[in-house]
Amino acid sequence: MKINWFPGHMKSALDVMEKEMKNVDLIIYVLDSRAPFSCLNPSFEKIASKRPVIYVLSKCDLSNDADTNYWQSYFNKKENSACVKVNSTISGSAKVIKNLMKTMLSKKADWNKRKGLNIPFRAMVIGVPNSGKSTLINNLASKGKTITGDKPGVTRGKQWVAIDENINLLDTPGTLWPDIENEVVGTRLAYIGSIKNEILDVASLGLEFVGDMLKKDKKILEDRYKIECNNLNRLQVFELICQKRGFISKGREVDYERGAIGILDDFKKGRLGKITLDEKL
């Protein structure tokens, strides 16, 4: 499925990120652990390459544990980088990021101390829409200092947030890139909620998702919806799920859009189990 969504505020956000780079010491790059490779924004490459990077695999409670460990190892191997996995809905779980940040910037801290300077570290938090940036910052700050939501486009401008007396974070809007050429990447970003439903053919997206789950492991669908998928194609399985869940219109026709919304919501909320969409490289 070919998907592109790059409203004007995203272009403005990229301009702000590049402009603010001179004011930050480190990048915190938030990646949804269900699709970490798909969350890598090519537009961030120029930005992120200028500073040390902490990759944060967010929502790790929703992704496959073994796959998340693989991706953590993958990003840990990048130069001048480190990677942690975090479930930001658990209070205090992001503390490891504070400690890691101080370790990675220890040389600068020593230099500041020798010069008699008391300057807080500054980090820029970046990621695609709905990757969990604001929830992470609220976890780090131990209070709700940013606006959060379960849909893309909630954070629309930059926000500086002091998470303690020694660290300030710049929260930036979730940002995609102008041309998502890889259709698989675009579809997976849509699955995890990084793209607004309003611009999507939700019914077709639901059908794609059912097909992908059948390829991954048909038991994902069988166990959740109490169905048998043997010898059924993706459309037949999609229709069977809709019938089981009561997604039927007044004319007794299958309501594909409601069915797709229900199935994708089950995925986003973890009701289908711990799933990682991106394959190992």
23, 148: one domain: yes
The answer to whether position 33 is within a domain reads: yes
The answer to whether position 241 is within a domain reads: yes
The answer to whether position 48 is within a domain reads: yes
Amino acid at 274: K
69 vs 7, which has greater pLDDT? 69
19, 81: one domain: yes
In the chain, the number of structural domains is 2
The answer to whether position 183 is within a domain reads: no
The token pair at 109 is 């801290």
Q: List, for residues 82-126, the tens digit of each pLDDT value.
A: 999 999 989 889 999 999 999 999 999 899 889 898 889 999 999
The answer to whether position 181 is within a domain reads: no
Give the H or E element holding residue 54. Answer: strand 53-58
Work out the average pLDDT over 27-39.
Answer: 97
Work out the average pLDDT over 149-160.
Answer: 54
The answer to whether position 178 is within a domain reads: no
Yes or no: say if 79 and 85 are a contact pair by the CB < 8 Å rule.
no
88, 167: one domain: yes
20, 139: one domain: yes
Q: Under 8 Å CB-to-CB from 87, ≥6 apart: which residues?
A: 58, 59, 60, 61, 93
Q: Is the pLDDT of residue 232 over 90?
A: yes
47-63 CB burial, b ≥16 within 10 A, e <16: bbeebbbbbbbbbbbbb
Given this model, what pLDDT does residue 263 score? 98
- d(CA 27, CA 195) in angstroms, rounded, equals 23
Domain's final residue, options 171, 192, 214: 171
69, 156: one domain: yes
Q: What is the 3-state secondary structure (H, E, C) of 189-227?
A: HHHCCCCCHHHCCHHHHHHHHHHHHHHHHCHHHHHHHCC
157, 76: one domain: yes
159, 40: one domain: yes
Residue 38's pLDDT band, with cuts at 50, 70 and 90, is: very high
Q: How many CA atoms lie within 13 A of 116 on its CB side?
A: 0
49, 160: one domain: yes
Question: Which residue range forms the structural domain that includes residue 221?
Answer: 201-268
27 vs 149, which has greater pLDDT? 27
Least confident of 77-91, 138-152, 204-218: 138-152
Cα distances (angstroms) measured from residue 5 to each of 30, 31, 41, 276: 19, 18, 13, 23
Domain's final residue, options 171, 190, 217: 171
Percent of the chain that is helix, strand, coil (3-state, to 5): 45, 15, 45
The token pair at 158 is 């930059």
Q: Under 8 Å CB-to-CB from 21, ≥6 apart: which residues?
A: 47, 50, 51, 124
Given this model, what pLDDT does residue 8 score? 79
The answer to whether position 22 is within a domain reads: yes
160, 23: one domain: yes
- Phi-psi map region of 59: left, alpha, beta (phi>0 left; psi -120 to 50 alpha): left
Give the H or E element holding residue 263. Answer: helix 256-268
Yes or no: say if 160 and 167 are a contact pair by the CB < 8 Å rule.
no
pTM score of the predicted model: 0.91
CATH of the domain at 22: 3.40.50.300
68, 167: one domain: yes
Q: Which of 174, 124, 166, 125 is nearest to 149 (CA)?
A: 174
Q: Under 8 Å CB-to-CB from 7, ≥6 apart: which residues?
A: 153
Q: Is the pLDDT of residue 45 over 90?
A: no
Residue 205's pLDDT band, with cuts at 50, 70 and 90, is: very high
Least confident of 114-123, 226-235, 261-270: 114-123
69 vs 109, which has greater pLDDT? 69
18, 156: one domain: yes
The answer to whether position 177 is within a domain reads: no
Strands (E) located in 109-157: 121-126
